[in-house]
Amino acid sequence: MKTIEKILYHIKCDGPVTAKVLADKFQLTTMGVRQHLQAMEEQGLVDSYDVKVKVGRPTRHWQLTSQGHHRFSDHHSELAVQTLDAVNDLFGQQGLQAIIAKREQQTLHHYQAAISDCHDLKSKLVTLTELRQHDGYMAELICDDNGFLLIENHCPICLAASHCPSLCQSELAIFQQLLGNSTLIQRQEHIITGQRRCAYRITSK
């Protein structure tokens, strides 16, 4: 992976970051990283903003632009949108909802088989995170004092979900059915509402 791609991937997953943090992570000089970032800025992939600090000059943070986010492909997204439109035209909303329900059922069965040997919430979530990572969601799991936070830094069906919000509702329904009614799942961040990632707070009731 080229340095620029590594930088893009890091910002995609971790959010706004300074040149020094990137330099330390990739064992480069801060000047070298700044040159990469400036080149990426000229390409429209990143932009920056300054954060005031108590002492000294403001700290410059770099973040992805919309164009930068689009560098991470949405699996055949245009085709997916066209297919949804075609189903709606041919079979109406009822047919479209039937397609979404069928996808939900298939995904749920696949996930259920994968977690069949998991006997506690944490092990289920670890496996679910691996499944979502494999499916292109750039998923990670954080355990903290408030339970678990399932983070998806990318959405490979983002364009289709923006076009058809029922897909997002279906994703949440899959998680709920998979983890059971004794688990509370709350979506705290949502890519299609303009936030940089989707994040789900998951706790036992």
Helix/strand/coil for 176: helix
CA nearest neighbour of 112 among 103, 124, 123 = 124
Least confident of 91-95, 108-112, 145-149, 181-185: 91-95
Judge whether 30 and 62 are in contact, CB under 8 Å. Answer: no
Q: pLDDT (tens digit, 9 = 90+) per residue, 47-61? A: 999 988 888 888 999
Judge whether 108 and 177 are in contact, CB under 8 Å. Answer: yes
The answer for residues whose C-beta is within 8 angstroms of residue 193's C-beta and 6 or more apart is none
**Is 192 a residue whose pLDDT tops 70?**
yes
Helix/strand/coil for 201: strand
CA nearest neighbour of 68 among 135, 134, 153 = 153
Dihedral pair phi/psi, residue 126, rounded to 5°: -60, -45
Judge whether 161 and 168 are in contact, CB under 8 Å. Answer: yes
Which residue in this structure is represented by tokens 């709920």? 176
**Is 77 a residue whose pLDDT tops 80?**
no
Task: Give the integer Cα–Cα distance in Å for 204 and 30.
Answer: 44
**Is 183 a residue whose pLDDT tops 90?**
yes
Q: pLDDT (tens digit, 9 = 90+) per residue, 106-116? A: 999 999 999 99
The single-letter code of the amino acid at 119 is: H
Q: Which two tokens stand for residue 10?
A: 């890091």
Helix/strand/coil for 141: strand
**Is 39 a residue whose pLDDT tops 90?**
yes
Task: Give the integer Cα–Cα distance in Å for 29 and 39.
Answer: 16
